[in-house]
Structure 1
């Protein structure tokens, strides 16, 4: 079963596509908040997106660019604006295919299945973690916030990954030490403190102020 996200402001069309895709055993969600599509994307973590071009607030090209900053999942543009210029723009912006409206739902399903088969048989998924607009890319050890990116060291990445996996929960220093031992034969306790300090500076550098908080005597938390 694959997760498909539909970004289409015509709710009748979105519902028709949803029903067709679900009939093939997939999990489908369509966007309702067109001001914050990226949050819906990260929350659902889909395998493929169906993306209209003409949308409220920001167009499909904008959202394709934002998604491409954090993921290489397949994006199929669906639009009645099917002149050559729009098709070329869609491909250049990072789209994988373009389907002109109106279209046959069976043709849409065939294209979706072909792309999913081609992509995931080759292991093309890029996983990530998201919280409060911060997106941790598990593929390249980077953190992105409001378009700003920071490269993380192996230790910094493992610490942040552990904290984001346990968001809103206090993670003890011992737990973090164990996670660091998984990638190093031995890590001194002072190493953890140094890495936490450096990580906080990198997060502040991209606008994430007080993202990691200290709970004295307990550990650290992302609230």
Structure 2
């Protein structure tokens, strides 16, 4: 069952959406407190987010930017703000769709269904990588082993993803640094070492030891 998170400060709209989505077979998370909403999003780990723009503490644009720093979860903006600039900002900052209030329920449900299918239909082959029992989910930035999971930062995910793509081969440190630079991440030799150590610690926290091996003078290998 897909889980949808509703980030909307209008209780009437939030309740209406919650009932509609549950009646259509979705699991729903609809927080009513917004001061710590960024961390709540991470905790919920939903499959899709319905996001209003006008929110207390921080608007939907800023929140979308923060979510996009670590996750590719689908985001649909649902808002009463209906200018071309609002829609442009929503898409530019990483939103996947933009729907204005008052919305048409069948149209909203159709767009949600379409976006979920487009995002997750090939999830097992495209977005989850597995090697020696360790799985990384590129959509949620989680690494999992035997039902235990831990969240990776954006840089940690990129590093582990690169090692998975080159599994059983030694990856030179400079190749990894250049790869991260190409992905617009500032990583020098020391930063790489720190991130490798953090990844190893996170893997050990879920029961994986010795997964990333150092080949002295050469690089890393899984």
The TM tier, using the shorter chain, reads 0.5 to 0.7
Which of 145, 150, 161 is the matching residue for 2:203? Answer: 161
Question: 2:17 aligns to what?
Answer: 17
In 1, the alpha carbon distance for the partners of 2:22 and 2:203 equals: 32
Please, which runs of 5 or more residues in structure 2 have no aligned partner?
A: 128-137, 143-149, 161-185, 216-222
**1:3–1:46 contact (8 Å) kept in structure 2:** yes
Task: Tell me by how many angstroms 1:11 deviates.
Answer: 1.0
**1:8–1:55 contact (8 Å) kept in structure 2:** yes
Report whether the alignment pairs 1:126 with 2:129: no
Structure 1: which 4+ aligned runs deviate by more than 6 Å? none
Question: 2:164 aligns to what?
Answer: none
| Count of aligned pairs between the two proteins | 165
In 2, the alpha carbon distance for the partners of 1:28 and 1:34 equals: 17
Task: Tell me by how many angstroms 1:107 deviates.
Answer: 1.3
Question: 1:139 aligns to what?
Answer: 157
Question: 2:99 aligns to what?
Answer: 99
In 2, the alpha carbon distance for the partners of 1:108 and 1:18 equals: 13
**1:136–1:161 contact (8 Å) kept in structure 2:** no
CA 1:127/1:100 → structure 2, altered by over 3 Å: closer, same or farther?
same
Please, which runs of 5 or more residues in structure 1 have no aligned partner?
A: 143-147, 166-174, 188-223
SS in 2 for 1:139: helix
TM-score, normalising length from structure 1?
A: 0.65
In 2, the alpha carbon distance for the partners of 1:42 and 1:86 equals: 25
Per-residue CA deviations over 1:146-205 (Å, capped at 9, x if unaligned) read xx9965555541322332x4xxxxxxxxx6xx611x444x99xxxxxxxxxxxxxxxxxx
**1:79–1:101 contact (8 Å) kept in structure 2:** yes
Task: Tell me by how many angstroms 1:27 deviates.
Answer: 0.8
- Equivalences for 1:42-191 in 2 at 5 Å? 42-123=42-123, 124=127, 126-128=139-141, 136-137=152-153, 139-141=157-159, 153-154=195-196, 156-163=198-205, 165=206, 179-180=209-210, 182-184=211-213
> What is the aligned-residue RMSD (CA, Å)?
2.9
In 2, the alpha carbon distance for the partners of 1:28 and 1:114 equals: 18
In 2, the alpha carbon distance for the partners of 1:35 and 1:162 equals: 32
